[in-house]
Structure 1
Amino acid sequence: MQIERWSLRLRMFLFFAFLAGSTILAINLGLWLGYRKLGIAEALDGFIFAGIIAVFGVLGATVWVWILFDEHVAKPIQTLSGTLLARAQSDHPNTKTDHSARYLGDLSLAAQTVTNQLVQTRRLLAKTVAHETAELIETNEKLAALAAEIPFGILLVSGSHKIAFYNGAATDLCGSDLYVSDKKLGLGHSIFDILTPAPLISAYARLCAGDGGIGHVIPLTVMVQDGTQILSARMRLAHAPQSKQDRPAYVLTLDDTAPDQQRRNAHSTLGTQAIRLLADLGATLQTVQNAREHVGSEQAIPKLNAAQQELLNTTAIKAAEVFEEYKHLNALRTQTVIQVSGENICDAVVARLKDVGITLMASQNDPVYLNVDPDPLISLLTHTATRLSQDGAKALSMLITPEDTGVMIALGWSGEALYVDRLDAWLSEPIDTDHPQASWRKVLNDIDTDMWPEAGRGTRRVLKLPIAHAAISAQQNRRGATYDFDLLAKPSQDTHLSTALSDLTYVVFDTETTGLFPNAGDEICQVAAVRIVNGKVVRGETLDALVDPERHIPKAATKIHHITNEMVREHPTIDVVGRALHSFARGAVLVAHNAPFDMAFLHRHASRIGAQFDHPVIDTVLLSAVVFGQSQPHSLDEICTRLGINIPPDQRHTALGDTIATAQAFLKMLKMAEAKGITTFEDLVMEMKRHSRLQPDLNNRTLAD
């Protein structure tokens, strides 16, 4: 029994209860001894009556004093304690103290002064640290941006095979769609969740044993766990093992083998076609020759010669087609196809034209990325814009717009119309006078596209250039590098009770629903979640999905979360999104505000989702009661106000907005709990159960296990 864990109010209650009990016992003992000393039997009723009066008097006085003490001392001290802890986690020194703290006299003023000074000192320290580390932050951002542009996947994995770094290309290669891929890349997750373990374990063991040649690199082939993709990979140790027990981290680079395999298949198909063509030609010629030997009529010979010539002509045409396809495949193999942003293409064209004195305004409607060989495309656009300017075009512009099948690049100008024959003449010009056979038309053919002029608005003219095979992705979906290098030295942890709170991984989530009664037919219409690893919200690891509730959303619910029936139409249903959430939260502790409400919806659909949400759960309502006291209000708005967390009005009552606010509040309250000596998950569960009068704790199964 840890008495120091008891709240001040409980200890004061027990103190006054003991005081009342001992006083009543002493009074009754005195009355009994007095009665025995007096020795008059008739006086017993008087002594009993006096004892009853004394008992009620003592109880009344004690309860009255206890209530006064509880209201004027214990509650204010508990409130002040929570306020001080909250201020220690926020940057709002002027947060008003609860009005009940006035009963504490100078103590409240002194505490407020000290915390204000603490916050100001911390602000100055943070400002100094930010100034000193600004260059480092800028360098990290540049490195993250560089990692995002690298066209192949890069992962840094600890010796226990936990992911500590990955870039956007790795996410794309390993399956970025949670609705398709069973599991998704995430910091702290095992690499074996994503890739088949056998080749990785074998390559790692060989590298630790000293294999890998001069560069200490081992090439290997791995498969994504869902079996949808085979990737070529290279593994390199971060450093040589210092001992047999040392488990160094390693770098894993991934690349897609599909394009190479497609080219090999295409070459194989062309080879088969060529062999079949020659075989058919040989068989037919042999038939014609046999016919020559057996036909006796001289009149049939010219017909055989004509048939033979027609066969040779047809075969020559087919052979030429096969040869052209072969050259096209070889040309594709030699092209430098990378993923380049539309913004970079715009900047490059503007810069090249500026060098020759031509001004062009370039922009893109939405951030897009194209899989092209950028230099020929940029040169083609520059050449065309230069020719337009030489023909008198004014106010040159370029706009890149995403379309369903790719992007459309539009060169615009004011002036005379451009006719097709004039454009063809420009495209027929050689790129380089030393190689007249390489024309701008060949650039278009290599990109597998074409250009044509159109009339624009008013006096504007437009030249259209579609990139039909471009890979387009919105900027917000294009991920940079995600990393936490502290994970490399962190031992593997399970979500068992003895694990330190700071070592656990958390998934904070929230739902928006059609109503408040899951057992009466209400359904989820939006789910959002974020991951917390190593005490920080992982930027980029977010789940935010609208859900088709398969029922009508009442107007009263729409007024709260602004989700309409039209918005959820054709979105995934709860079985799909529920599986995505379950995968997103694997190995983590679930965190939610008013968790029983959200968990009731998930438990109700467990069979349909195909997974049980049996994770450990932390309810921020109960966590707030632990750190602020049960008597305080525990709504999300009240908690955020106490902690100085601002929820933008347009984000309140949206699943993602409430999730982010809950995550911020959770991290601050977790530090407050640790300051109170609650350091393990078991400690926190036991403390939350003390406040089960607010609402039930959901960790009975966790304690049983």
Structure 2
Amino acid sequence: MKIEHWSLRLRVFLFFAFLAVVAISGETIGLYLGFARMEKPTAPDGFVFAGVIAGFATLAAVAWVWFLFDEHVARPIQRLAGGLLARAHADVEEAIDAKTARYLGDLAPAAQAVTANLAATRNKLAETVAQETTRLVEEKEKLTALSAEMPHGVVLLSGLHKIAFYNGAAAELLSADHAPGLDHSIFDFLRARPILSAYSRLCAGEGGDGHVLPLTVATVHGAEVLSARMRLMHAPDEGDISPPYVLSLDDVTTDLALHTEREKLLSKLFARLRPSLTALRTALAARAESGPQNDPRLDAALIDEIEHLTGEVATLDAEYEAHKSDWWPMAQVRASELCDALSAQLSEDDMTLAADAPDPLALTLDAVQIVTLLGHVARRLSQEGGRAFSFLVSRDEGGGAMLALGWSGDPLSVDLLESWLAEPLDVGLADMTGRDILDAHGTEVWPEFGRGSRAVLKLPIREAHRLRRSFGDGRRTATYDFDLLSRTPPKELMESPLADLSYVVFDTETTGLLPSQGDEICQIAALRVVNGKVVKTERLDQLVNPGRNIPASATAVHHITNEMVQDAPKIDVAGRQLHSFARGAVLVAHNAPFDLEFFRRHEAGIGAKFTNPVLDTVLLSAIVFGQSEEHTLDAISARLGVKIPPEARHTAMGDTIATAEVFIKLLRMAEEKGIRTFGDALTEMRKHKRLLQDANETSGT
């Protein structure tokens, strides 16, 4: 190893060791030469005695001087260097403590002046940049919100087929066994063959000037079929033979299923009607040939065939009625919200409505159409003398719900109701009537007598039946890092630059500190770090049922009680979630061997091994600040200006956020010390292995 890679304290120690060796060697040589000039045989004992005394005295003096130099010069210089690095790369606001370098003359004041000037310059630059970028940030937020609410999934991928952008609809489309994340391969979610084929064709010049090709692709698990359009960001050239591209995705699983059902219904229609029609034609031909004297058996056969034909048509019509509403886009609407909407609409006509609905109860319908229809009928009833309106939503044993509009007054005739249903309604579509609304929902409405002088109108709703996927209800955000588009092909791990790797920072809370004696995990938290930034929308925060009692002493630390985890998944499920979340990433933790030991004990139940490469913030801190410093999470955070709210400390997510911020800053500081690849970091961490066991020895790195 090159001498410039040695630590300052080691080099100082070696210098004084060399000085001691030279001094003792010089004394030994001098005594030997003095003895060689004497001719007294008893002199050696005296020379040896004098040499031992001189050697110990020299060694003690050198050791004492080395100790003073190490304590007041080498160690303060190391602390001063760490402080300067922290303020250069970690935005630490506190001034350097001059007491740590009080014996270094003007060096500490000079360092204070440099860091103060750096902080002032940085603040001024930050203010200028903030002023200049406010407009860009606002525009970015608007575009992000717009893309997040797009009804179609949009994914931007690099030429390596790694995700650099995805919106909320894409997240829901791709989420199955695991959620998508930046720098993940699209082939973790979609079948590779159609995508690779379309991409190679586009790169070869197909798709016209727009560089666009349509394709159909299934998800990896095969549950959904997606219609997609692939567009190259730019035409391939010599400098970029693998250009990035955009995939727009739409779930056509329901459409295909509906098309299949309709094809089956048509096939069934023809298969059932063809024999009956043939039999009728035969019977009619025979009856015509029989002349005026009709055979009663022919009339009976005709009647039987007509009744059979009528029955078949009725059966097929019922099947058609059961499925004809599936094409209309519906949404999940809370019953209480439906009541509020109807009350608000009637209040515009000074009509009061007593509404009630079980909560929570979600109805599958087009809320605008149903509310408009019920409001229209209520207004017509009011014109006919109806009063004291009420609206009730109740559960249906068949899996749906029943809407009941009640009033005091005369009951409603079916003919009058049908005339009202034939009137056009303003629901945003031209010439749509109440009857059309009922048909779109695959339902019917009818009047009934109520209690006393009240009458009621009933309208059944099917709660959920083969609905289209409703996008954007869960993740209303867009996640992106466009720098990933220029990412070079990955190298072998040990040669991979630290800046090019993706990381998952995680932490756990446990029932105790002894996994070998039965302690278990009761909470897991994890964040993804890509391109040196925390991806805020990609996180895991999961309580875990440890399968044993959580001691009061542990609850006092992390505030997790037995009641909080009784319905939580066990470690086999939660462990699979973390393993999926961390696929293809380097695991990062503070004292990683401790946390990983809990997972590795359950790898059989989890069904996967945690073989990810591992970085530990304890060892990274030792690389940057030296082993002599304190390397607790609180101590490192204080040195790097990372503030941990007291209420977040010793919670899995709170500690994970702090560890992620510490890790990002330590990584920048380590690069300043020449540690640029994962192999460099691993080599340096193993020099400090006395602090922790090497988590990579178990992971196989």
- Choose from 425, 437, 462 the match for 1:443: 437
User: In structure 2, what is the Cα distance between the partners aligned to 1:74 and 1:102?
Assistant: 12
Equivalences for residues 216-235 of structure 1 within 5 A: 216-235=211-230
- Choose from 432, 438, 442 the match for 2:424: 432
- Return the letter of the residue paired with 2:693: P
Q: What is the aligned partner in structure 2 of residue 673 from structure 1?
A: 670
Q: CA deviation at 1:336?
A: 5.4
User: In structure 1, what is the Cα distance between the partners aligned to 2:622 and 2:334?
Assistant: 50
Q: What is the aligned partner in structure 1 of residue 235 from structure 2?
A: 240
Give yes or no for the alignment of 1:7 onto 2:4: no
User: In structure 2, what is the Cα distance between the partners aligned to 1:276 and 1:23?
Assistant: 110
Q: CA deviation at 1:591?
A: 0.6
Q: What is the aligned partner in structure 1 of residue 454 from structure 2?
A: none
| Structure 1 residues 40 and 220: CA distance shift in structure 2, 3 A | same
Q: What is the aligned partner in structure 2 of residue 460 from structure 1?
A: none
In the superposition, the TM-score normalised over structure 2's length comes to 0.82
User: In structure 2, what is the Cα distance between the partners aligned to 1:474 and 1:260?
Assistant: 16
Q: CA deviation at 1:508?
A: 0.9
Q: What is the aligned partner in structure 1 of residue 153 from structure 2?
A: 153
Q: CA deviation at 1:673?
A: 1.0
User: In structure 1, what is the Cα distance between the partners aligned to 2:117 and 2:342?
Assistant: 55
Q: What is the aligned partner in structure 2 of residue 131 from structure 1?
A: 131
Secondary structure at the counterpart of residue 497 of structure 1:
helix
Q: CA deviation at 1:623?
A: 0.7
Q: CA deviation at 1:560?
A: 2.0
Secondary structure at the counterpart of residue 37 of structure 2:
helix
| Structure 1 residues 117 and 339: CA distance shift in structure 2, 3 A | farther
Contact 1:367–1:473 (Cα < 8 Å) also in 2: no
Give yes or no for the alignment of 1:191 onto 2:183: no
Contact 1:86–1:672 (Cα < 8 Å) also in 2: yes
User: In structure 2, what is the Cα distance between the partners aligned to 1:504 and 1:626?
Assistant: 19
Secondary structure at the counterpart of residue 691 of structure 1:
coil
Task: Name structure 2 gaps, 5 residues minimum.
Answer: 449-457
Equivalences for residues 21-170 of structure 1 within 5 A: 21-95=21-95, 97=97, 99-170=99-170
Q: CA deviation at 1:550?
A: 2.4
Which digits, 9 at most, give the CA deviation of each residue in 1:333-367, with x for residues without a partner?
A: 4x45689999x99999999999999999xxxx999
| Structure 1 residues 5 and 389: CA distance shift in structure 2, 3 A | farther
Contact 1:619–1:697 (Cα < 8 Å) also in 2: no
Q: What is the aligned partner in structure 2 of residue 491 from structure 1?
A: 488
Contact 1:430–1:436 (Cα < 8 Å) also in 2: no
Which digits, 9 at most, give the CA deviation of each residue in 1:403-444, with x for residues without a partner?
A: 9x99999999xxx97889689989935553899984336435
Worse overlay, 534-543 or 437-446: 437-446
Q: Once superposed, what is the RMSD of the aligned Cα atoms?
A: 4.9
| Structure 1 residues 338 and 468: CA distance shift in structure 2, 3 A | closer
Secondary structure at the counterpart of residue 164 of structure 1:
strand
Q: CA deviation at 1:8?
A: 1.2
User: In structure 2, what is the Cα distance between the partners aligned to 1:657 and 1:559?
Assistant: 16
Contact 1:369–1:472 (Cα < 8 Å) also in 2: no
Q: What is the aligned partner in structure 2 of residue 253 from structure 1?
A: 248
Give yes or no for the alignment of 1:637 onto 2:637: no
User: In structure 2, what is the Cα distance between the partners aligned to 1:322 and 1:157?
Assistant: 47
- Return the letter of the residue paired with 2:187: F
Give yes or no for the alignment of 1:269 onto 2:264: yes
- Choose from 692, 695, 701 the match for 1:695: 692
Give yes or no for the alignment of 1:527 onto 2:524: yes
| Structure 1 residues 106 and 694: CA distance shift in structure 2, 3 A | same
Give yes or no for the alignment of 1:574 onto 2:571: yes
Contact 2:633–2:659 (Cα < 8 Å) also in 1: yes
| Structure 1 residues 221 and 693: CA distance shift in structure 2, 3 A | same
Aligned residues with identical type, % of pairs: 50
Task: Name structure 1 gaps, 5 residues minimum.
Answer: 454-462
Equivalences for residues 193-342 of structure 1 within 5 A: 193-213=188-208, 215-243=210-238, 246-279=241-274, 281-282=276-277, 301=296, 312=306, 315-316=309-310, 319=313, 322-323=316-317, 326=320, 332-333=326-327, 335=328
Q: CA deviation at 1:39?
A: 3.0
- Choose from 479, 485, 501 the match for 2:498: 501
Secondary structure at the counterpart of residue 219 of structure 1:
strand
- Return the letter of the residue paired with 2:195: L
Q: What is the aligned partner in structure 2 of residue 661 from structure 1?
A: 658
User: In structure 1, what is the Cα distance between the partners aligned to 2:645 and 2:461?
Assistant: 41
User: In structure 1, what is the Cα distance between the partners aligned to 2:330 and 2:125?
Assistant: 48
| Structure 1 residues 422 and 520: CA distance shift in structure 2, 3 A | farther
User: In structure 1, what is the Cα distance between the partners aligned to 2:525 and 2:47?
Assistant: 70
Contact 1:507–1:585 (Cα < 8 Å) also in 2: yes
- Return the letter of the residue paired with 2:125: L
In the superposition, the TM-score normalised over structure 1's length comes to 0.82
Worse overlay, 95-104 or 194-203: 95-104
User: In structure 1, what is the Cα distance between the partners aligned to 2:421 and 2:19?
Assistant: 105
| Structure 1 residues 130 and 2: CA distance shift in structure 2, 3 A | same
- Return the letter of the residue paired with 1:432: P
Q: CA deviation at 1:188?
A: 1.4
| Structure 1 residues 345 and 197: CA distance shift in structure 2, 3 A | farther
- Choose from 533, 541, 544 the match for 2:541: 544
User: In structure 1, what is the Cα distance between the partners aligned to 2:92 and 2:652?
Assistant: 26
User: In structure 2, what is the Cα distance between the partners aligned to 1:199 and 1:593?
Assistant: 42
